[in-house]
Amino acid sequence: MTFSKNKPLIPLLLLALAIVMPLIFKHPYLMRVVIMIFYFGVTAYGWDVIGGYAGQVSVGQGMFFAVGAYSVALGYLVSNLTPVVGALIGVIIAMLLALGIGSVVLRLRGPYFTLSTIAACEVVRILLLHFKEATGGPEGLVIPYNGYNLYALHFANDLPYYYIALGLLLVAMYTCYRVSRSKLGYQLAAIRNDEDAAKSVGINLMKSKVKAFMISAAITSLAGAFYVTYDHYIDPFSTCSNEMSVKILLIAVLGGRRSLWGPLIGSLLIIPLMELTNAYLASVRPGAAMLIYAMVLVAVVLYAPDGIASVFKSAGKEQKGDDKLAAN
């Protein structure tokens, strides 16, 4: 199940389906859920670059999402920048943030990296909450909607937002795919397997891991940047929080790390259920959905470390040599 030259049929069919589907089914709520699936899919692909391919568990991806979202929102509200430029600025800030954190802690072995991602996410949130004048503090920022405006990416219905999200998802998938097949992908695979051996073939561990972290940050901030154009609203708790970071990790790990389809599968499974439970269970039993996911996560970690995607894969056929980087 890859974009391999001999079997492009299934992915192409899926893509065609994704393009045509919203034209046929015009259910607004369903559309919203699918857009959410795409955005969280993007964040999960972003996580997979650092958490999957580089093997460095990040529990702070929410901060990159927030950086993207706030860049777009503030850029538009303060300087009337189009979200496209805002997103670009967000990507740059996110990458610099990743560079800063990464170059300090990725040289250390052990839990330091994970810890510092948690801490950094907390720091960013505390700052967002503290500088109320600029960020709106806990109330967040609202981007007023004044009718169709292409410059501001304001559309009359959800269809354009759907295609933006789909486009972003394709970009994220393709980036992940390229990374896994690139020199960097091989270097990360080497590092994941054995750091000493990686050094013996001239791999600069820090450089490769930091690169991966920066790519991961860029993808995640893009998701935040365009999500805010769709939602018109951003606040620190729903983006730059431990909960958000954990959700992103959960989607990627449940779906399957280091696999082309894993993050999307994870998002497909988790987001609709979360939406459902939020809609119907939230008032009765908040936390019920997370409880289920936590149990599935523990089960996956213990019994199917390659995630749910691997179940599909092994049901399909024997692992080909071609899938090697994705398969472990």
Q: Which residue in 1, 92, 93, 115 binds another protein (CB under 8 A)?
A: 115
DSSP-derived 3-state class of residue 234: strand
Told to check if 85 binds another protein by CB under 8 A, we report: no
| Minimal distance, residue 92 CB to another protein, in Å | 21
Structure tokens at 198: 């990686």
Q: Which residue in 6, 23, 28, 110 binds another protein (CB under 8 A)?
A: 110
For residues 147 and 202, which CB has a smaller minimum distance to another protein in the complex? 202
Structure tokens at 244: 């958000």
Burial label, 32 (beta-carbon count in 10 A; 0-12, 13-18, 19+): middle
Structure tokens at 299: 């089960």
Q: Which residue in 4, 149, 204, 314 binds another protein (CB under 8 A)?
A: 204
Q: Name the residue among 147, 149, 35 with its Cα closest to residue 82.
A: 149
Residue type, 153: L
Piece in contact with another protein (CB under 8 A), picked from 5-13, 42-50, 181-189, 309-317: 181-189
Structure tokens at 93: 């800030």
Piece in contact with another protein (CB under 8 A), picked from 32-40, 87-95, 114-122, 266-274: 114-122
As a whole number of Å, the end-to-end CA separation of the chain is: 15
Buried b (16+ CB within 10 A) or exposed e, 115-136: ebbbebbbebbeebbeeeeebb
Q: Name the residue among 57, 94, 30 with its Cα closest to residue 224.
A: 94
What distance in Å separates the CA atoms of residue 277 and residue 271, rounded to the nearest whole number?
10
Residue 139 CA from chain centroid, whole number: 24
Q: Which residue in 4, 8, 194, 273 binds another protein (CB under 8 A)?
A: 194
For residues 82 and 103, which CB has a smaller minimum distance to another protein in the complex? 103
**What residues numbered 121-150 form the site for another protein, per CB under 8 A?**
122-123, 126-127, 129-130
Compute the chain's Rg from CA coordinates.
19
Q: Which residue in 293, 310, 313, 326 binds another protein (CB under 8 A)?
A: 293
Q: Which residue in 79, 149, 157, 200 binds another protein (CB under 8 A)?
A: 200
Q: Which residue in 30, 119, 170, 304 binds another protein (CB under 8 A)?
A: 119
Tell me 319's DSSP state.
P
For residues 105 and 222, which CB has a smaller minimum distance to another protein in the complex? 105
| Minimal distance, residue 214 CB to another protein, in Å | 18
| Minimal distance, residue 276 CB to another protein, in Å | 16
Positions in the binding site for another protein (CB under 8 A): 51, 55-57, 59, 104-105, 108, 110-112, 114-116, 118-120, 122-123, 126-127, 129-130, 181-183, 186-187, 189-190, 192-194, 196-205, 242, 246, 249-250, 253, 285-291, 293-295, 297-298, 301-302, 305, 321, 324-325, 328
